[in-house]
Amino acid sequence: MLTTFSSPRADRLLSWALRLAGAMAVLVLGGIVLVLLIQSAPFLFDHGSGLWRNDWQPGQARYGMAAMVAGSIVVSVLALLMAGPLAVLLAAWLRYFAPVLRRPTLALVELMAGIPSVVYGLWGMLVLVPWINQWAPPGASWLAASLVLALMILPLALLVTDTALDQLPARYLQAGQALSLSRVGMLRRILLPQAGPSIVSGLVLQFGRALGETMAVLMVAGNVVQWPTSLFDPVRTLTANIALEMAYATGDHRVALFASGLLLLLVTALLLLLSWRLRGEKHALA
C-alpha cells in the first residue's frame, strides 16, 4: 500500500503559485481591455455614429465598418453551419456505430486541430480558390473563407461533441435499451438532447474562434470592403482589415483599427457569456 505525504509548506507554495498565475491572467486581460478603451474612446466619441456606414476610406476620413462587420458574421456563420452538424453526426457515428474507427479517427482529428491556421490558408489559396475560380471568378470569396474556416473548426467541434457524449451517465443508454429504442432513436430522443447544452456551448466557442481568425481568412476571402450579396463575392473581415492596415495606419486611421479590435473583443465576451449560460443550464438540468 502506497501512502502519499504532502508537506504543508509545499501546499502553501502551490496555492500561492496558482493564485499568482490567476492574477497574472486577469491583469493581462485587463491590460488589453484598458489599452483598447484608452485608444478607442476618443475616436468613438467623435466618430461613433459613422462606424456603421458602409464606406471604409481612411484617406478621406471615412471609417464605416458595417460591411466588414457583416463580412465577419456571414463568413463565421456559414462556417459554423457547415462544420457544426457534420461534427455532431461524425462524433455520434464514431461512438455508437463505428467504435472500432473511433480511436484512429480522433487521433487524426487531434492532429488536424494542431495544424497552424496559415497552413489552412495556404491550402485554400493554392487549391480551393483556383477551383472556385473555375466556376465563379475571382475564387477568393465568402464561400472560400467559410470553407477554410469550417475545416479549421471541425476538429475541435468534433472533439467537444465526443467529450459531451462521453460524459453522459450510463443510465441514459440503459434507459433507451430498456425502452427497446434503436440506436438512432436513442440518439435523437435521449442522448443528443441531454448532451445538447454542452455541444451547443462548444459550438458557440468555435464560432468565436472563427470570428477571430485572421491569416487564413485574409488569404482566401478577397479582402474587398463590400456587403456580401453572393457566396462568390469577395469580402473583408474586421480581423483581416486590422492585419492589412495596422502596419501603416496613423492618426484616426490607427485609432479606428483599435476601435474595431474593441468591437471584436466585446463580441467574443458576449459569446463566452452565452457559452457559460448554456453550461449552467446543462448542470441545472442534470
* Domain annotation covers residue 51: no
Average pLDDT over residues 123-141: 93
Residue 160 resides in a domain: yes
Our CA angle for 244, 247, 251, nearest 5°, is 110
pLDDT more than 90, % of the chain: 44
Q: Is the pLDDT of residue 6 over 80?
A: no
- Is 6 part of a structural domain of the chain? no
Q: Are 238 and 174 in contact (CB under 8 A)?
A: no
CB atoms < 10 A from the CB of 257, how many?
A: 23
SS3 sequence of 194-230? HHHHHHHHHHHHHHHHHHHCCHHHHHHCECCCCCCCC
Report yes or no on 3 lying in a domain.
no
Residue 249 lies in a domain: yes
Question: CATH number of the domain that 239 lies in?
Answer: 1.10.3720.10
13 domain residue, yes or no = no
Structural domain that includes position 75: 60-285
Domain contains 222: yes
**Residue 280: is its pLDDT beyond 70?**
no
Beta carbons of 261 and 36 less than 8 angstroms apart? yes
Domain membership flag for residue 227:
yes
Contact (Cβ atoms closer than 8 angstroms) between residue 50 and residue 64: yes
**Does residue 209 contact residue 153 with C-beta atoms inside 8 Å?**
yes
pTM: 0.86
Indicate if the pLDDT at residue 1 is higher than 50.
Answer: no
According to the model, what pLDDT value does residue 41 have? 82
- Of residues 128 and 181, more confidence is placed in 128
Domain count, the chain: 1
| pLDDT per residue as tens digits for the range 193-208 | 888 888 988 898 899 8
pLDDT tens digits along 24-69: 988 998 888 888 888 888 778 877 777 788 888 888 888 888 899 9
